[in-house]
Structure 1
Amino acid sequence: MTTTEYSRDLLAQRLLDSLLGAVELLTCELGRQLGLYDALRGCARTAAELAEATGIDRRYAREWLEQQAAAGLLAVHPGPAFTLPEEHAAVLLDEGDAAYLGTAGQFALGVGLTTPAVVAAFRTGAGVPYADFGHHLRHGIAAFNRPMFIHQLTAQWLPAVPDIDRTLRCGPAHVLDLGCGLGHSSVALARAYPSITVRGVDLDEASIVEARKTAAAAGVADRVSFTVGDASGRHGPADLVTIFEALHDMADPVAVLSAARAALTEGGSVFVGDELVADEFAVPAAEMERLQYAFSVLHCLPATRAEGTESANGTVLRAPTLLGWAREAGFAAPEVVDIPHDIWRFYRLR
């Protein structure tokens, strides 16, 4: 086999592997939406029993069960009957578990459904508004980030900057959470620091509606409020401004950082968490950077261009770029905070 043939076959196999992963993700989304995983947790069921328990068609039930078992997601018992192993339930069902990725299929579905609009945007140079990506993507993003906010935000990230942690613990203090999405970061902050108040701001009205429900369900609505608004607008005084995986989606990040700086009280800080990527473009890229680029092409860049074209950076936000924006916004010595993480890098601006 020649080098050219080997390279050709390698790419063909890679695309086939990618197709397998994509369609299996969508079968996981079927299981999530129809409650099939819930019905199989701790309970072995045949196809007929699963169909009766969940109200789906028996023939479809059998096909899905066999496919899930063939993929290694379900355990098979005599009958045949099928169960969801508890270690898999943590990943597929437990939204608060550190390993939860149960909405990965929902994430993929949201991107796929909007691809025709992205195709059109590529031809015209226009954007695709964030709201047009809909429920699937909005919830996919929130569910992907929520475990990090629950397990790491207040237990690891902020304690790595002792004076910020001390300010929030000693309180009273006010936090401004820009690009708050469905509000999981705002709620996590309020639950960990009982003497603070938090105001979340996001452009997406549907996200803010759900964020208010998130705060109410967590019992912190008396200290957490949410506003539909532009992150680059005027904000009240804040002892801490947080921006988690949102700065790269903002059309004018320098204006956002300038607004955050203007909102800070004396001694206050801006704390940013954004993508962990290489400082310069290079190929081949690491796997996570490849993932970020794919999301950038299909979601982040089109959504940003719908807001404006001042920057339109896309998902791949490199450290020198962010630090440059911070200096342009008036922060004299922005810094990268040494917090080990697999997918995010952290910055402190003051």
Structure 2
Amino acid sequence: MDATASRDALVERLFQAAIATFDLYGVYLGDRLGLYRALADRGPSTSAELADAAGINERYAREWLEQQAATGILEVEDTDAAPEQRRFVLPPGHDEVLLDETSLSFAASLAQSAVVYAPADELVDAFRSGEGLTSERFGPDAHLVQARSTRPLFEHLLGGEWLPAILDVHDRLAADPPARVADVACGCGWSSIAIARAYPKVSVDGIDLDAASIDEAPKNVAGTDVEERVQFHCRNAADAEFAESFDLVTIFEALHDMSRPVDVLRTIRGMLADGGSVLIADERTEDSFRAPTTDLERLYYGFSILTCLPSGMVGPDAAGTGTVMRADTLRRYATEAGFSRVDVLPIEHDFWRFYLLDTG
């Protein structure tokens, strides 16, 4: 491709990317302001009806409705009607994507991530200084982004498919005496709850150093049938000393965010009971760097430059792993932490790869 064609292709690509970015921002507004929920509850609505139902200004409601219809997220019953008389509707199937936070098709959290992790002055400064950014620097919604994204995976797949596929782990969780599980980097607790729900005998300790997540987690388990078997702790697994022994320790989509992953894995190794296992799920990256690469790898690198690498650069001697943690990197971390074996498990998933660590 000559320089002119290459130039024009890049201009077109960035133009389309700008449109997609604005789509995400529009979805974020609809999600945060409850506009999709109001449309789902009311059915076809004018801008005034939506504004009244959602408690927003009519003129803003009308512009948002028109943008959403123009981009194909909403439908409009009569485009020729006067602006104030047009009725907009949430098409069949779109409600699941935008509203059902337990569905594997839920994707509104992607829009939330685009806003929460949008580059700010602090990130620009971090690029210059080499310092990291803690999750608190991304605002009060940061801890909810990953929780909303992963909750459907935990509720549908963790106890129903993934753990049963690891036969030795599954058998121990179902056996007596009741097993103890430590869910490291548990976030808002959905993984801990899913494990306890799938295995009625086990007790689960959710551990996370993010105070906002640990404040949220007890609210999610409150009133459920597993409330008595799940507890949460605000602790740094890299520093903590645990008197307890656990039959299973899990880390779901978090090791690459940790600034001291080897220290965390070393602590976890000391937490294991005899015959205990460590299960890690992290991004299903390519085996090696490629450019250009797949859409999934592009997504991972996007998250990495905005949030995951900054998280992994916090503190002295930070590992700075980033989202694109390849299998060889995890094996190296595990070996340095004293594990004798790392198996990549034959669990198929589009986004995650699963590892089982053994102390020998």
TM-score (norm 1): 0.96
User: Which residue of structure 2 aligns with residue 337 of structure 1?
Assistant: 345
Whether 1:170 and 2:175 are equivalent positions in the alignment is yes
| Whole-Å separation in 2 of the counterparts to 1:289 and 1:166 | 35
- The Cα RMSD (Å) is 1.4
**Equivalent position SS for 1:334:** strand
Q: 1:234 aligns with which of 241, 248, 271?
A: 241
**Equivalent position SS for 2:124:** helix
1:217: Cα distance to partner? 4.6
User: Which residue of structure 1 aligns with residue 355 of structure 2?
Assistant: 347
Q: What letter corresponds to residue 27 of structure 1 in structure 2?
A: G
**Equivalent position SS for 1:218:** coil
Q: Is the 8 A contact 2:183 2:250 kept in 1?
A: yes
1:120: Cα distance to partner? 0.6
User: Which residue of structure 2 aligns with residue 272 of structure 1?
Assistant: 280
1:85: Cα distance to partner? 2.0
**Equivalent position SS for 1:153:** helix
Q: Is the 8 A contact 1:245 1:275 kept in 2?
A: yes
**Equivalent position SS for 1:188:** helix
User: Which residue of structure 1 aligns with residue 81 of structure 2?
Assistant: none
Q: Is the 8 A contact 2:259 2:311 kept in 1?
A: no
Q: What letter corresponds to residue 55 of structure 1 in structure 2?
A: G
| Cα deviation digits, residues 114-148 of structure 1 (max 9, x gap) | 52111011111111112111222221111111111
Q: Which runs of 5 or more structure 2 residues have no equivalent in the other structure?
A: 79-84
Q: Is the 8 A contact 1:41 1:85 kept in 2?
A: no
Q: Is the 8 A contact 1:109 1:136 kept in 2?
A: no
User: Which residue of structure 1 aligns with residue 51 of structure 2?
Assistant: 51
**1:172-191 paired onto structure 2 within 5 Å:** 172-191=178-197
Q: Percent identity?
A: 46
| Whole-Å separation in 2 of the counterparts to 1:59 and 1:95 | 29
**1:18-97 paired onto structure 2 within 5 Å:** 18-41=17-40, 43-78=43-78, 79-97=85-103
Q: What letter corresponds to residue 293 of structure 2 in structure 1?
A: A
Structure 1 stretches of 4+ with a deviation exceeding 4 A read none
| Whole-Å separation in 2 of the counterparts to 1:140 and 1:217 | 23
Q: 1:111 aligns with which of 113, 117, 121?
A: 117
| Cα deviation digits, residues 280-328 of structure 1 (max 9, x gap) | 1121121111111121111111122124434121111100110121122
| Whole-Å separation in 2 of the counterparts to 1:324 and 1:11 | 38
Whether 1:288 and 2:293 are equivalent positions in the alignment is no
Cα 1:24–1:266 change in 2 (3 A) is same
**Equivalent position SS for 1:254:** helix
Cα 1:48–1:310 change in 2 (3 A) is closer
| Whole-Å separation in 1 of the counterparts to 2:87 and 2:264 | 55
Q: Is the 8 A contact 2:312 2:318 kept in 1?
A: no
**Equivalent position SS for 1:103:** helix
**1:113-262 paired onto structure 2 within 5 Å:** 115-171=120-176, 172-232=178-238, 233-235=240-242, 236-262=244-270
Q: Is the 8 A contact 1:201 1:231 kept in 2?
A: yes
User: Which residue of structure 2 aligns with residue 317 of structure 1?
Assistant: 325
User: Which residue of structure 2 aligns with residue 16 of structure 1?
Assistant: 15
Q: Is the 8 A contact 1:252 1:308 kept in 2?
A: no
Q: Is the 8 A contact 1:110 1:133 kept in 2?
A: yes
| Whole-Å separation in 2 of the counterparts to 1:211 and 1:217 | 12
| Cα deviation digits, residues 171-192 of structure 1 (max 9, x gap) | 4111001111111111111111
Q: What letter corresponds to residue 124 of structure 1 in structure 2?
A: S
Q: What letter corresponds to residue 12 of structure 2 in structure 1?
A: Q
Q: Which runs of 5 or more structure 1 residues have no equivalent in the other structure?
A: none
Q: Is the 8 A contact 2:204 2:230 kept in 1?
A: yes
Q: What letter corresponds to residue 152 of structure 2 in structure 1?
A: P
| Cα deviation digits, residues 156-200 of structure 1 (max 9, x gap) | 111111111111122411100111111111111111111111111
| Whole-Å separation in 2 of the counterparts to 1:321 and 1:103 | 28
